[in-house]
Amino acid sequence: MLNLEIIKYLKKRTIKAVLHVFWLFPVDKKKVFLLNDLSYTYGDSLKYIDKYLRIHNEKGLKRVFAIRNGYDGPVDDVIVRPNTMRYFKEILTSGTIITNSGGVSYLPKRRNQKIISTWHGGGPYKKTSLDVYDNCWYRKEVKMNCDNTDYILSSCRYFTEIEAKSMGFEAERCIPAGLPRNDVLFCEHQDIVKKVRKMLSIPEGKKFILYAPTFRSSSDQSTSKMISNYIDLDVDMLLSVLNQKYGCEWVCGIRLHPKLSDIDIGDMNVINCTSYPDMQELLCCADAIITDYSSLMWDYSFTYRPVFLYAPDIEKYEKERGFYMPVSEWPYPIAHDNNEMRDNILHFEEKSYIESVKQHHIDSGSYETGQACEKVVGLIDT
């Protein structure tokens, strides 16, 4: 593993040296490069910054998006394929680069460029970066990325004071803005609800619960065992108890992690939402969600609709990965098995849950206000 880290680091150093050739071209201060480094799709916070700029573009900014396959965004965006000559020319001549991950460490950043990270997870949950993976070569990679990045957006005080430090960022470079992708959750979004229900063929009058577990694996687990743990939720029981609790019919959608998207779920009583391109739109549509450790629980908490956690392996996960805020301080009902999930739904009290979520936002020091996109654009110099 250490040898792979060394090779990865040296590869990035080599690429960085070679890419200096693009310094021959001038920087365009009015050009913004939007880099969804997690999937190279039109999604996550980059999509919502782009949509904001379509309406609020007083600075006259041009937008460039790196897209691997398919695109359903504005026609006036410039689209480039990742890791092509044009991609490198566009990104190294953009006045501002906005990314959602650590994918800029290999770039030879120029003096008159600004790089902003939106990051891709909110709230005080899973540990990350040097708090999880700590060896000298990974540390060097983290420093390369941090040195290149001017600002990183912070979703809450916990992120600024603890998580950002694991990535090398001091508080002065953390912008208390929230995540741009969450702005949509603070707005009226009935049009999105109608769109999603139509695309997923959700029957009229039925409520929709989304199950979206995060990806996790362990060296001591076989693939079949990992998958068994991953989709162990009894969906038929779930729908039955939801019908009993709320007096109406429900349907369940499941969104698998891309690494497990080829799992056959044909025998499950679910709508497969894995290929739906925008998680935030699914959250707008959902009447409740089930997850385990995914930061989507933070995003969805701002709707104040029910979040249920199904985490059979939480003790093991906490030992191997760890959390910034103790699980006991989270406001979401946690089930270790299907019986506990059933009980949590039957005994769910909406009023006390909403109060707990509001207190959680206070305890975490939430910066989410629905104005993150505006704050990002405010950081762009022209």
- Specify whether the CB–CB gap between 279 and 286 falls below 8 A: no
Residues forming a β-bridge with 334: 309
Q: From CA 67, how far away is CA 78, in angstroms rounded?
A: 10
Query: Dihedral (C-alpha) 205, 211, 212, 213: value to the nearest 10 degrees?
Result: 170
The total number of structural domains that make up the chain: 2
**Domain contains 233:** yes
**Domain contains 262:** yes
- Give residue 2's pLDDT band: very low, low, confident or very high (50, 70, 90): low
- Give residue 1's pLDDT band: very low, low, confident or very high (50, 70, 90): low
- Do 74 and 34 share a structural domain? yes
Best CA proximity match to 152, nearest among 106, 73, 200, 97: 97
Residue 220 confidence (pLDDT) above 80: no
Say what the pLDDT of residue 135 is: 86
Contact partners, residue 222, CB within 8 Å, separation at least 6: none
**Domain contains 115:** yes
- Do 145 and 69 share a structural domain? yes
- Do 197 and 124 share a structural domain? no
Query: 3-state DSSP: the chain helix, strand, coil percent, rounded to 5?
Result: 45, 15, 40
pLDDT in tens, 163-186: 999 999 999 999 999 999 999 999
- Do 207 and 115 share a structural domain? no
Locate tokens 């979703």: which residue? Answer: 155
- What is the residue range of 136's domain? 2-178+370-378
Q: From CA 95, how far away is CA 28, in angstroms rounded?
A: 5
CA distances, 69 to each of 40, 100, 162, 274, 277 (Å): 8, 18, 36, 16, 12
For 158, counting Cβ atoms within 10 Å of its Cβ (0-12 exposed, 13-18 middle, 19+ buried), the class is buried
Residue 118's CATH number: 3.40.50.11820
Q: Which two tokens stand for residue 266?
A: 């044909």
- Do 232 and 109 share a structural domain? no
Contact partners, residue 114, CB within 8 Å, separation at least 6: 95, 96, 97, 150, 151, 379, 380, 381
Say what the pLDDT of residue 5 is: 84
Best CA proximity match to 120, nearest among 101, 97, 145: 101
- Do 174 and 81 share a structural domain? yes
- Do 207 and 174 share a structural domain? no
**Domain contains 183:** no
**Domain contains 267:** yes
Say what the pLDDT of residue 219 is: 47
- Specify whether the CB–CB gap between 121 and 127 falls below 8 A: no
Region 198-203: mean pLDDT is 97
Say what the pLDDT of residue 228 is: 53
Q: From CA 22, how far away is CA 19, in angstroms rounded?
A: 6
- Do 291 and 359 share a structural domain? yes
Residue 306 confidence (pLDDT) above 80: yes
What is the model's pTM?
A: 0.94
Residue 69 confidence (pLDDT) above 60: yes
pLDDT in tens, 72-127: 888 889 999 999 999 999 999 999 999 999 889 999 999 999 999 999 999 999 99
Q: Which two tokens stand for residue 229?
A: 């743990």
Region 329-340: mean pLDDT is 97
**Domain contains 351:** yes
